[in-house]
Amino acid sequence: MKKKFKIPAFMIAFVLSVTLFAGCVKPVQPGDPTPPPQPPGPVDPVTPEPPGDDDEPPEIEGLTLTFSDEFKGDALDLRNWDFMLGTGGGHNYWGNNEKQYYTEGDNVTVSGGTMKIAAKREDLVYQRIRTANSWDNDKTIWWAEDEDGEPLLDENGNPYQMEKMEFTSTRMRTAGRFYQKYGRFEAKIRLPAVQGMWPAFWMMPEQNVYGGWPRSGEIDIMEARGRVPEKAGHALHFGTGAGGGHRYFAYPNDYTLRQEKLDGDGNAVLGDDGKAVTENGTIEEYHVYRVDWYEDRFEWYIDDVLTYVIVGDSEAKADYAGVAALNPGLRINGEMWTTNNYASQPGRGERYAPFDQEFHMILNLAVGGHFDGNRMPPEDFAEAVMEVDYVRVYQFDEYLYLTEEAEDAENGDGDYHTLAPLSYVRKR
């Protein structure tokens, strides 16, 4: 005997409703007019992409990542960076007649995956102890006075001075936190095209093994003049002579920036050869500024284009002949750097001194100064911003090896995570 099933009434009603609805929908036939578009429904808000590259550092064959700051979050990571303050102490406005006062974080922000350094016009008055002999007559000086109008004196009987600085900015470094000898150092940055701005991404020795500047060296990965937005430069500073006389190699007249030409839809324009067409760029767009520092040579790049090479001899210079033929903007310097440090100092006569020591990185946005002929911002200047998407450092694998101490650090027990015969990387 078959068992009868009773269909519930709610299922009958559901089937009927679906059947009736389907019968009301006319299938689209070939040749029928396209129905008018329906108004869109509510759309979830979309967070705009940060102006910079939000990707993690890529793995690069032959290189090991040793440092990375992607500037995520809403504050500067002080495990990576330290602030340099004021007007340079005894260096007379950082030795360059710069016109800004560097603050302790007041001029730096982190948001949207990038770090911003702002140079601002301000009416800042600060106090420091100085003698009656001013270092710089360009500055406006006030003597601090007590309630009776008498000069305030320090413990040595010298007056306190009050100095008015028109501009503030930030100068930050990895000293004491990260430093390395040799490797690839790069940052993705866009800069303000404003007269009087002097932005830089550069390196200084962690220890002045060969004496004070310039004998222990300086590596300028990028520096630019806001007044000349289509150019950026590189340089290597060192000292010669018993007195440490200043010498430097620099890209002649600065490198003219290039960038891909885009069509109206933002796509790269291709030439007949299928390659992207380039046009003159400016520092206002993002560019990746980089130096590859080897034991016997330096290679500078902008957006992965080799722009400047310093090598130690003519034979090494010949290695770049083919590259130079393909890149008219490339400059090659075949003269080796030197340093004539005092005989009592270690390393005298070393072939690669002073660039055989650990260096740390610096990012800053200066105002005025000698680099662009002491030009100042326009009278209506209020603020300019240097924006950094990331800073990354790699070490060449051929220069790396792990020691027992490094292996301990990988397990969290040691002080260092990598040590190399030609590299020294401090664990953060």
Mark 226-254 as b/e (b = at least 16 C-beta within 10 Å).
bbbbbbbbbbbbbbbeeebeebebbbeeb
pLDDT of residue 162: 59
Whether 331 is covered by a domain: the verdict is yes
What's the rounded mean pLDDT across residues 230-255? 80
What's the rounded mean pLDDT across residues 101-127? 89
83 versus 340: which is more confidently predicted?
A: 83
Q: What is the pTM of this model?
A: 0.74
What's the rounded mean pLDDT across residues 143-147? 63
Res 195 pLDDT > 50: yes
* Residues near 210 by beta carbon (within 8 Å), at least 6 away in sequence: 216, 217, 239, 339, 341, 345, 347, 353, 354, 357
311 and 334 in contact (C-beta within 8 Å)?
Answer: yes
Whether 349 is covered by a domain: the verdict is yes
Total domains in the fold of the chain: 1
Cβ neighbour number for residue 286 with a 10 Å cutoff: 19
Whether 101 is covered by a domain: the verdict is no
Res 404 pLDDT > 80: no
What's the rounded mean pLDDT across residues 393-418? 59
265 versus 107: which is more confidently predicted?
A: 107
pLDDT tens column, 285-309: 999 999 999 988 999 999 999 999 9
Whether 11 is covered by a domain: the verdict is no
pLDDT of residue 185: 98
154 versus 19: which is more confidently predicted?
A: 154
Whether 20 is covered by a domain: the verdict is no
| Band of residue 47 on the pLDDT scale cut at 50, 70, 90 | very low
Distance of CA 5 to the CA centre of its chain: 76
97 and 374 in contact (C-beta within 8 Å)?
Answer: yes
Cβ neighbour number for residue 198 with a 10 Å cutoff: 26
What's the rounded mean pLDDT across residues 99-106? 89
284 and 293 in contact (C-beta within 8 Å)?
Answer: no
Q: Give me the domain span that covers residue 263.
A: 207-219+233-356
Most confidently predicted of 256-265, 401-410, 417-426: 256-265
pLDDT of residue 278: 67
145 and 360 in contact (C-beta within 8 Å)?
Answer: no
Question: What is the average pLDDT score of the chain?
Answer: 76
Res 3 pLDDT > 50: no
pLDDT of residue 364: 98
Q: In percent, how much of the chain has pLDDT > 90?
A: 40
pLDDT of residue 306: 92
pLDDT of residue 321: 77
Of 173-182, 198-207, 257-266, least confident by mean pLDDT is 257-266
What's the rounded mean pLDDT across residues 269-296? 86
pLDDT tens column, 228-239: 999 999 999 988
Rounded to 5°, the CA angle 299-312-328 comes to 45
Whether 418 is covered by a domain: the verdict is no
Whether 17 is covered by a domain: the verdict is no
pLDDT of residue 258: 78
Give me 262's structure tokens.
Answer: 């885009």
d(CA 374, CA 422) in angstroms, rounded, equals 39
155 versus 137: which is more confidently predicted?
A: 155
pLDDT of residue 165: 83
Pick the closest to residue 359 from 393, 308, 396, 387 (CA basis). 393
| Band of residue 65 on the pLDDT scale cut at 50, 70, 90 | very high
pLDDT of residue 243: 54
Q: In percent, how much of the chain has pLDDT > 70?
A: 67
346 versus 350: which is more confidently predicted?
A: 350
Whether 169 is covered by a domain: the verdict is no
Res 220 pLDDT > 90: yes
Res 130 pLDDT > 50: no
Label the pairing between strands 140-143 and 160-169.
antiparallel
| Band of residue 22 on the pLDDT scale cut at 50, 70, 90 | very low
What's the rounded mean pLDDT across residues 373-393? 97
pLDDT of residue 125: 66
pLDDT of residue 210: 85
| Band of residue 129 on the pLDDT scale cut at 50, 70, 90 | very low
